């Protein structure tokens, strides 16, 4: 969430007084760690309702609203697992993200992450424009992986979605560790993404 807020602040400072090219909606859902199945969670109606009301205020309804969603892109930004030096066997043998290697692009064939080819292209283009390295994250097939709000948002709204995150060691432990540079890189990549890179 911090990287997204830093990116939004930078965009606001750059475009002070100017009309944005397209609206940017930032949402921080409740209850992600318990499945998102609540009124204010990603499986609930909150985001859909807000988008419908914003579109209505802009005079967009019906087919035009459906077309607006089809032209939109969603970034589901969270955290991801970097290879833990004490448990390297739990990671995919070919995809080895490391702390300090840049934000993670999270991919899962069973759609535990919503990333698709269109979203991958947009994310990689934004990272190149921001001069931020990016690395892929793919779970080891023998180790069950969690999920994010990305698949819920993509399913509910039909918006192409990319799941990204900052690499961590010891996710959900008392002492998660990350590289400070990855947070700054994620903020720059998000800013570039929202600028339409």
Residues in Cβ contact with 102 at an 8 Å cutoff, skipping those fewer than 6 apart: 127, 132, 133, 134, 135, 182, 185
pLDDT for the residue 145: 80
What span, in angstroms and rounded, lies between the C-alpha atoms of 95 and 98? Answer: 10
Residue 19 is given by DSSP the state P
Whose CA is closest to 9, among 34, 28, 21, 26? 26
**Residue 173, Cα to own-chain centre: how many angstroms?**
22
Confidence band of 43 (pLDDT split at 50, 70, 90)? confident
Whose CA is closest to 69, among 39, 48, 46? 48
- β-partners of residue 78 are 165
Whose CA is closest to 154, among 78, 79, 72? 72
Q: Are strands 104-107 and 161-168 parallel, antiparallel or unpaired?
A: antiparallel
Our CA angle for 113, 63, 151, nearest 5°, is 10
Phi, psi (rounded to 5 degrees) for 7: -65, -45
Q: Is 71:22 a contact under the CB 8 Å cutoff?
A: no
Whose CA is closest to 49, among 58, 59, 39? 39
- pLDDT tens, position by position, 84-109: 999 999 999 999 999 999 999 999 98
Confidence band of 170 (pLDDT split at 50, 70, 90)? confident
Domains of the chain: 2-10+73-194 (3.40.630.10)
Look at the chain and count its residues.
Answer: 197
Q: Does the pLDDT at position 33 exceed 80? A: no
* pLDDT mean across residues, the chain: 90
Which has more confidence, 178 or 197?
Answer: 178
Q: Say how many C-beta atoms besides its own lie within 10 A of residue 183's C-beta.
A: 16
Q: Does the pLDDT at position 21 exceed 80? A: no
Q: Does the pLDDT at position 51 exceed 90? A: yes
DSSP per position, 76-135: EEEEEEPPPTT-GGGB-SS----TTS--EEEE-TTSSS---HHHHHHHHHHHHHHT---E
């Amino acid at each position: 969430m911090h990287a997204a807020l830093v990116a939004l602040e930078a965009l606001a400072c750059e475009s002070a007084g100017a009309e944005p090219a397209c609206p940017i909606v930032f949402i921080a859902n409740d209850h992600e760690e318990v499945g998102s199945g609540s009124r204010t969670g990603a499986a609930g109606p909150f985001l859909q309702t807000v988008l419908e009301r914003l579109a209505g205020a802009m005079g967009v309804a019906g087919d035009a609203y459906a077309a607006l969603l089809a032209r939109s892109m969603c970034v589901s930004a969270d955290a991801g697992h970097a290879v833990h030096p004490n448990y390297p066997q739990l990671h995919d043998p070919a995809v080895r993200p490391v702390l300090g290697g840049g934000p993670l692009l999270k991919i899962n064939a069973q759609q535990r992450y919503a990333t698709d080819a269109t979203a991958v292209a947009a994310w990689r283009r934004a990272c190149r424009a921001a001069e931020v390295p990016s690395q892929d994250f793919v779970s080891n097939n023998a180790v069950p992986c969690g999920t994010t709000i990305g698949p819920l948002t993509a399913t509910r709204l039909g918006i192409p979605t990319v799941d990204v995150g900052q690499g961590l060691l010891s996710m959900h432990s008392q002492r998660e560790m990350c590289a400070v540079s990855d947070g700054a890189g994620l903020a720059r990549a998000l800013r570039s993404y929202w600028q339409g890179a």
